[in-house]
Amino acid sequence: MAAKADADGDDQRGLLAAGEHDYNTPDDKMRSPSRVQFDMTPQVMGDTVGAGDGPLPRHSDQYSYSDDDDDDALHMQDPLSRDSRHRVPLLTDLEAPSVRVANEWGGDGGDEELAAELRRPKSGLKSAFMNMANSIIGAGIIGQPYAMRQAGLLAGIALLVGLTVVVDWTICLIVINSKLSGTSSFQGTVEHCFGRPGLIAISLAQWVFAFGGMVAFGVIVGDTIPHVLVAVWSDLGNVPVLGLLTDRRVVIFIFVMGISLPLTLYRDIAKLAKASTFALVGMAVIVSTVLIQGFFVPSDHRGSFSLPLLTVNTGIFQAIGVISFAFVCHHNSLLIYGSLKTPTIDNFSRVTHYSTGVSMLACLAMGLAGFITFGDKTLGNVLNNFPSDNVMVNVARLFFGLNMLTTLPLEGFVCREVMMTYWWPDEPFNLRRHVIISVGLVGSSCLLSLMTCDLGAVFELVGATSAVAMAYILPPMCYIKLATPSWRTYVAYAIVVFGGLVMVISVIQAIGSLTNSSGEPVKCH
């Protein structure tokens, strides 16, 4: 029996509670039969559920808004070992183990399903926070000073705060929409609302954003690690064979294929929690470095300021793309939701609020420190503005490069699961296919990283297209389709219009800047 939290006395759950009250389905058949969330540790009740009793009830009219004990969630251990024979899709499997056990126990293959579900590694709230925050505070944070330069100081601050609120809401909308539609994936929700064209649109947006992130991370590895190696060993370039490590292309290939690829071959995102913890520590070092070393930058490295740079600049729409690239984690929000040991709306919203809030503060600190220091000379990768012989900056470059090597697999997970869900949704896990797709994704993104070093252009283009579609267009459009009219649906309409304008204007400006070729070309560092 499900333990349902008492939500009757809390009428102010705001936008998250919309999923419980605003659906307009004619009957309960549109709701997923496995949307019930349990707050207890999975248990097998052999004495009370016999073979003749059949499966437990699979339906509920309300969601569980349980305030779970975090300690219990964080310390529940998976009792069984890993079994590679079963494919359990990451993007589509949203049920907690207890839900799947209760739904299937007593039916055909109940023992096998129980074992398969309990073998899957799960994460507690702290690990989920680490994964989501790492997904946000990744490559995008290094471009926040560049976003300030594009938007202007005052407009940049306002955009960063405002977009954080919007992104926080639309991340939660993805889970709410899945409950309203009776589907269990972002792709499934969009397909339910808009048919085959919707499935193609969301699959393409998710894949392009994640793959663009992989390319950006490779570029950053080439921008950072060679500087560190030369700083540690000044004569490295004259050493036979090892001297190749001063070439950014060689470094990208060796480090991405040697470190990121093995991590990408994992099947479960929960196994990357420790890497995400390390990555967040590294980002704290990077932000601190920019804050401290900005005071000691030589005068010839500092830029100047004009009135537009201090207020509202002409590149405000490109800035939205850069900020969106940093904050959008919608493509792996369901990965994180599915990795929770107890995936309730309360738990997921708590993880989301903390992650976006901490990320906003970190991005504000980085953006203000970098832009105030370098002004109109601010680059897409602000670390490239510092002298190459700055010791503390080189330490930050090392942390940043290693951070990208551990963040790249998160995006690889998404690309792979989008492809598996689109082309092989009902097929069991196939090790050969898993390896081929993983190697192909990492290898192709590595190749593109070798061909470009303009990180700002990558941020702008990917952010203005796929990031805008996933954050500001598709989630609110689905909510409008599924929910009964209310003030929340009008908010959703406004966000859709905003996202559409940003996408069109940003793409036009990006194409215009490429065709005009104005300004100095970006040099590889």
Annotated domain spans of the chain: 125-516
Residue 454 is predicted with a pLDDT of 74
Q: Partners of 483 in the beta sheet?
A: 23
Per-residue pLDDT at 274:
66
- Please give the average per-residue pLDDT across 393-418, as a whole number: 85
Mean pLDDT of 474-502: 93
Task: Report the pLDDT value the prediction gives residue 374, as an integer from 0 to 100.
Answer: 94
At which residue do the structure tokens 């009740």 appear? 45
Residue 103 or residue 291, greater confidence:
291
CA distances from 21 to 349, 416, 486 (A): 17, 35, 11
Q: Is 25 helix (H, G, I), strand (E, B) or coil?
A: coil
Backbone angles phi, psi at 365, to 5 degrees: -60, -45
Greater model confidence, 47 or 165: 165
From the list 167, 89, 172, the residue with the least C-alpha distance to 338 is: 89
What pLDDT, on a 0 to 100 scale, did the predictor assign at position 2?
Answer: 41
End-to-end CA distance of the chain: 61
| Residue whose token pair is 């100095």 | 520
Quick one: pLDDT at residue 22? 46
Helices 345-374 and 153-181, axial angle in degrees (round to 10): 160
Q: Is the pLDDT of residue 369 over 80?
A: yes
Max Cα separation, the chain? 81
Q: Does 214 score more than 50 pLDDT?
A: yes
The CA distance from 26 to 241, in Å, is 70
**Among 25-29, 114-118, 388-392, where is mean pLDDT lowest?**
25-29
pLDDT at 452: 81
> For the chain, how big is the Rg over CA atoms in Å?
24
Tell me which of 293 and 132 has the higher pLDDT: 293
In this prediction, residue 68 carries a pLDDT of: 43
Alpha helices in 62-152 (DSSP H): 70-75, 97-104, 110-119, 125-136, 144-151
Residue pointed to by tokens 């663009």: 212
Q: Is 314 exposed, middle or buried (0-12, 13-18, 19+ CB in 10 A)?
A: exposed
Q: What does pTM read for this prediction?
A: 0.69
Nearest CA-CA partner of 502 in 15, 133, 144, 166? 166
The average pLDDT across 138-151 equals 87
Residue 409 identity: P
Among 161-165, 189-193, 406-410, name the one with the lowest average pLDDT. 406-410
The span from the CA of 33 to the CA of 411, in Å, is: 30
> Which carries the bigger pLDDT value, residue 99 or residue 152?
152
Residue 491: the pLDDT is 94
Distance CA 327, CA 61 (A): 33
pLDDT above 90 for 342: no
Contact between 374 and 301 under an 8 Å Cβ cutoff? The reply is yes
Confidence grade of residue 285 (pLDDT, cut at 50, 70, 90)? confident
Residue 165's pLDDT is: 93
Inform me whether the pLDDT recorded for 55 exceeds 80: no
Average pLDDT score over the chain = 76
| Residue 303 to residue 296: CA distance in whole angstroms | 14
Minimum mean pLDDT range among 198-212, 257-271, 342-356, 358-372: 257-271
DSSP string, 167-220: HHHHHHHHHHHHHHHT-SSHHHHHHHHHHHHHHHHHHHHHHHHHHHHHHHHHHH
Burial class (CB in 10 A: 0-12, 13-18, 19+), 368: buried
Distance CA 41, CA 131 (A): 23
Q: Which amino acid is at 177?
A: N
Residue 339 — pLDDT band, cuts 50, 70, 90? confident
Contact 479, 293 (CB under 8 A): no
Residues 242-261 as b/e (b if ≥16 CB within 10 A, e otherwise) read eeebbebbebbbebbeebbb
Tell me the three state secondary structure of residue 310.
helix
At 17, is the pLDDT very low, low, confident or very high (cuts 50, 70, 90)? very low
CATH class of 125-516: mainly alpha
Position 250 confidence tier, pLDDT thresholds 50, 70, 90: very high
